[in-house]
A and B are shown apart, each in its own frame.
Chain A
């Protein structure tokens, strides 16, 4: 099992450009998440999907959109990138429905917006 995979690993964008971050998991998990990690701020939830076909906003959704394409894949789109979106982005998945369950993380995408 590859676990949670993310592409690309690194990306540099210019202000106003768009891009989609891809995430896939092969653990048959129902729930998937997108986080951003910034120095001194820990991980903040951008969007999550409790199951295929559903998505909900997290703490910092502005400037982002998501698509739960199928049970395996959950993509994050930046329609018009801004320097404030420079961050490391992590995708995660979770096989359970309770807060006791473990989240599994991908290796991250390091995004720089100039």
Chain B
């Protein structure tokens, strides 16, 4: 079935470090791919998305490229800030309709 696998956290980085959070998905169909972010005590909000192969989603300095050949959608940011500390969820659309399958989430902690 549809599934999403993310790297386990927590990921701890110093401010201005480079961030990569890995995400791979099962290759059933041609799903849309998403990154959602959850700040402490809040609900999830969309960070970026890509709807077809080779698309790049970007927002707030974060980027992710839809790689069909490696079934991946890794999240990257060149220089993280303390305010980026949150839990990041990778998700894929399911076949038919507008439901999503989420990964388990990766907690990011950015320290000064």
Residues B43 and A108 in contact, CB atoms below 8 Å apart: yes
- Smallest CB–CB gap between B31 and chain A, Å? 6
Q: How large is the interface on B (under 10, 10 to 19, 20 to 34, 35 or more residues)?
A: 20 to 34
Scan residues 30-50 of chain A and give those whose CB is less than 8 A from a CB of chain B: 31, 33, 40-45, 48, 50
Q: How large is the interface on A (under 10, 10 to 19, 20 to 34, 35 or more residues)?
A: 20 to 34
Given contacts A106-B43, A108-B43, A94 and B98 within 8 Å (CB-CB): yes
Given contacts A50-B97, A99-B31, A42 and B102 within 8 Å (CB-CB): yes
A91 — nearest CB in chain B belongs to which residue?
B43
Residues A97 and B98 in contact, CB atoms below 8 Å apart: yes
Q: List residues of chain A with CB within 8 A of the CB of B51.
A: 100
Given contacts A40-B104, A45-B99, A102 and B46 within 8 Å (CB-CB): yes
* Cβ contact of B103, chosen from A42, A97, A103, A106, cutoff 8 A: A42
Q: In the complex, A40→B6 CA distance in Å? A: 11
B103 — nearest CB in chain A belongs to which residue?
A42
Q: In the complex, A96→B99 CA distance in Å? A: 11
Q: List residues of chain A with CB within 8 A of the CB of B105.
A: 42
A6 — nearest CB in chain B belongs to which residue?
B43
* Cβ contact of A90, chosen from B34, B43, B95, B104, cutoff 8 A: B43
Scan residues 79-114 of chain A and give those whose CB is less than 8 A from a CB of chain B: 90, 92, 94, 96-108
For residue A4, CB closer than 8 A to chain B, the reply is yes
A41 — nearest CB in chain B belongs to which residue?
B104
Scan residues 70-112 of chain B and give those whose CB is less than 8 A from a CB of chain A: 89, 93-100, 102-105
Q: In the complex, A92→B98 CA distance in Å? A: 12
Can you list the 7 inter-chain pairs with the closest CB atoms, starting with the nearest?
A: A99-B93, A105-B43, A42-B104, A43-B102, A42-B102, A100-B32, A105-B44
A/B interface sample: 6 pairs, CB < 8 A = A42-B89, A42-B102, A42-B103, A43-B89, A97-B97, A99-B94
